[in-house]
Amino acid sequence: MDLLRHLRFFVAVAEEGHFGHAADRLGMTQPPLSQGVQRLENRLGVTLLTRGSRGVRLTTAGADLLPRARALLDQAEEFTEAAARQRENRGAVRIGVIAALGDRQVAGLVAALRAPDPQARTVIVSTTATVDLVDAVAGGRLDCAVVHHPALLGELEASPVIKIPRRLLVPADHPAATKHGIRALRGLACATAPRAHGTAAFDLLVDTLRERGLDPEFLPAPGDRDALGAVAAGRAFALSTDPDLRAPGVVAVPAGDEFALRVRVVWPDPSPQSAVCEALETALRELS
């Protein structure tokens, strides 16, 4: 007996309140539908539906089991969809990156991973917070990820720290556009990823700024697009890994080595994609 098929019969009749309408909904004739419900009732040993002059009604057992039947059907559909995604992603590389990594670096990583096999499919997961990437790698939803350093990595394996140079983005009409130096940024907020995206990395940035005489307010800006808006509006300065970034109202000035973006490649132990992790680390170093 196909339990899921017969559960669909039961749910359709219960929701339509009529065998004929349920048969139309399921694209079948009424006799096999009625027989299917009877087989389900015989299998379960309970009566689910009663027929009357006003149509079909649920019994006490039917009312209790209907939401459970719906839940089973929903779970079966989710299972089928998940299997389809797995089928489509066979051979794919599932990597994640923090939003602080610029578009140039992300494109370079994809190109580097495809270089050995142009037919290989690479999946870049939407950029997100370090804590979420760590959880995704640990949970097997990603093969590896590029995350902030420092960060709590649990039992994940990690590459050595890779430093990616960054430049300061400042409003074109602000004195800091021509007068270099961290203290010239006074009066501007700092547009950067929220603390929740990487607590330790955020705190390190705060400490570095304070050591150099700057204690700004902070505006949440996970990536370059968010940061550019705040900088162009004259409200903030930001840091970017993109050496070629250009935008109206924004000037890029040098930033010291202490403001480099520090990242690590993380993966589970053992890694399902060890060659990919090595290629990812190599590509990051070449792009830095």
Q: What is the pLDDT of residue 103?
A: 83
Angle, CA of 71, 75 and 80, to the nearest 5°: 150
Which tops the pLDDT comparison, 138 or 87? 138
Q: What is the pLDDT of residue 214?
A: 93
Q: What is the pLDDT of residue 122?
A: 67
Token pair 């419900």 is found at 37
Q: How confident is the model at residue 202 (pLDDT cuts 50, 70, 90)?
A: very high
Which tops the pLDDT comparison, 108 or 134? 134
Q: What is the pLDDT of residue 180?
A: 77
Q: What is the pLDDT of residue 224?
A: 83
Per-residue model confidence as pLDDT tens digits over 155-201: 999 999 999 999 999 999 999 888 878 889 999 999 999 998 888 99
- CATH topology assigned to domain 93-162+262-287: D-Maltodextrin-Binding Protein; domain 2 (3.40.190)
Q: For the chain, which residues make up each domain, given as ranges?
A: 3-88, 93-162+262-287, 166-259
Residue 226 has pLDDT above 80, yes or no: yes
Given this chain, do its domains 93-162+262-287 and 166-259 carry the same CATH topology? yes
Q: How far is CA 103 from CA 82, 99, 109, 118, 279, in A?
A: 29, 9, 10, 20, 18
Per-residue model confidence as pLDDT tens digits over 77-128: 888 877 766 665 556 788 899 988 888 888 888 888 777 666 666 677 767 7
**In the 8-state DSSP scheme, what is residue 247?**
B
Determine the Cα–Cα distance for residues 82 and 74; give it in Å rounded to an integer. Answer: 12
pLDDT (average), residues 54-58? 85
Per-residue model confidence as pLDDT tens digits over 24-44: 999 999 999 899 999 999 999
Q: What is the pLDDT of residue 87?
A: 60
Q: What is the pLDDT of residue 64?
A: 93
- CATH topology assigned to domain 166-259: D-Maltodextrin-Binding Protein; domain 2 (3.40.190)
Q: How confident is the model at residue 277 (pLDDT cuts 50, 70, 90)?
A: confident
pTM of the predicted protein model: 0.66
Which residues lie closer than 8 Å to 93 by C-beta, 6 or more apart? 113, 120, 121, 122, 123, 143, 273, 276
- Average pLDDT, rounded, for the chain: 88
Q: What is the pLDDT of residue 118?
A: 64
Residue 238 has pLDDT above 90, yes or no: yes
Q: What is the pLDDT of residue 119?
A: 64
Q: Give the whole-number percent of the chain exceeding pLDDT 70.
A: 93
- CATH topology assigned to domain 3-88: Arc Repressor Mutant, subunit A (1.10.10)
Determine the Cα–Cα distance for residues 21 and 30; give it in Å rounded to an integer. Answer: 9
Q: Give me the helices (H) in 115-149, please.
A: 130-138
